[in-house]
Amino acid sequence: MNAPASAGERLPFIDLLKAVGSQLIVLHHLAFYGPMSDWTHQLAPGLVAWFSQDARMAVQVFLVVAGFLAARSLAPDGVPRAGSPAVLLRQRYVRVALPFIAALLVAMVCTEAARLWMAPHDSLPAPPGLWQFIAHALLLHTLLDVDSLSAGVWYVAIDFQLYALLLGLLWLARRAPPGPWLPALVGLVVAASLFHFNRDAHWDSWALYFFGAYGLGVLTHGATRSDAVWCGGGRWIMAALVALALLALVLDFRERIALALGVALLLACAQRQGWLHTWPRHRAVAYLGRISYAVFLLNFPVALVVNALFTRYGNADPVTQTVGVLLAWLACNLAGALFHQAVEQRLSRVGRRRTRPPALSAR
């Protein structure tokens, strides 16, 4: 589900997290939206209810992983890379937004096709408007409170906001006197998120609401790398991070933060023990990890079309409609694989840097 990363070494354990998380999000959407899941609920009410309500927690996995990967790219040894934040943000926009815009066009076509075959249903978005599309293309739809063109697309805008906020913190750290300013600045914003912003749902259109989980990933990467400049205090930083998260949970227990902390600890263990780079060595897992962003972008419109077809032409009974759910799950992955191959990979070349990476610098 995370936006495509720049070319580089594959991390099998990260691929595993992406693969599992993306499938949970697909199953969440299948259980939450569309009339087919209402029939499936009659066969497996507990399972459908779990996917409908709890599987969405997989978003926390992606938030932590996104922070971890952003830190790996922007400050691989604990020192921010030299370079213009504006240039880096523009490159990020190209990698994230171009596939997103292409997927939105597909989603709008799928929605109109589903509207022809299916009676009015809560799962069907309203017909799109030009301003609505522009707001999505600019990744401003959450901030402008624009109705979503597809389920889950709020995450794309939030991911871009989080990346921009991290770039700002890195820029400040580079201009500060020598010292561990990067973990201090990130930790300060993590604390603000955990103790204030994440406790107020009115902030859920802004990066500060989610930075608690994202920042856990950022600091976990820096604190557990053996070659990090501030790794001498990495163990203490990791301990302080865990203590901070636990204190926030004591003050206001949130399952999403508990899960984010668990993922951060899992990543810390994977990096320190070395199996971040070595396990699991499985082609299917690696492939599902690679196509996770494409699957995320297309799963809702594809599932909507399958819902419409089975509503129009399928028998109105639990078994037939459950077969429809399973076929929709398969179709989401096939569509994601095709989109990744034909669209996402080609568009990623537009934003790929042709120059050598900038030298690392503390200033």
Q: What is the pLDDT of residues 289-342, one digit of tens each?
A: 999 999 999 999 999 999 999 999 999 999 999 999 999 999 999 999 999 999
Per the structure block, which two tokens stand in for 84? 């213009």
Cα 130 to Cα 197: distance, rounded to the nearest angstrom: 32
Backbone angles phi, psi at 192, to 5 degrees: -60, -40
Residue 124: predicted pLDDT:
85
Residue 346: predicted pLDDT:
92
Percent of the chain with pLDDT over 90: 77
Percent of the chain with pLDDT over 70: 92
Domain chopping of the chain, boundaries: 12-348
Residue 1: predicted pLDDT:
66
For residues 241-261, give the mean pLDDT: 97
Per the structure block, which two tokens stand in for 190? 């993590």
Per the structure block, which two tokens stand in for 242? 């865990």
Residue 79: predicted pLDDT:
75
Residue 83: predicted pLDDT:
78
Residues 6+ apart with CB under 8 A from 330: none
The amino acid that residue 221 corresponds to is H
Residue 187: predicted pLDDT:
95
Residue 3: predicted pLDDT:
63
Phi-psi region of 78 (alpha: psi -120 to 50; beta: other; left: phi over 0): left
Mean per-residue pLDDT over the chain, rounded: 90
Whole-Å CA distances, 11 to 62, 63, 252: 15, 17, 34
For the stretch 164-215, pLDDT in tens is 999 999 999 988 887 788 899 999 999 999 999 999 999 999 999 999 999 9
**Site of tokens 């989401």:** 332
Residue 7: predicted pLDDT:
41
SS3 83: coil
Cα 193 to Cα 200: distance, rounded to the nearest angstrom: 10
- pLDDT bin (cut points 50, 70, 90) of residue 363 is very low
> Looking at the predicted structure, is the pLDDT value of residue 231 above 80?
no
For residues 39-44, give the mean pLDDT: 96
For the stretch 109-154, pLDDT in tens is 999 999 988 878 788 888 889 999 999 999 999 999 999 999 999 9
Cα 18 to Cα 169: distance, rounded to the nearest angstrom: 26
For residue 360, what are the β-bridge partners? 81
Cα 52 to Cα 271: distance, rounded to the nearest angstrom: 32
Residue 227: predicted pLDDT:
58
What are the start-end ranges of the H helices in the chain?
12-32, 36-43, 45-53, 58-74, 85-117, 130-137, 154-174, 181-195, 207-224, 234-251, 255-273, 283-290, 292-313, 318-339, 345-348
- SS3 per residue for 270-282: HHHHCCCCCCCCC
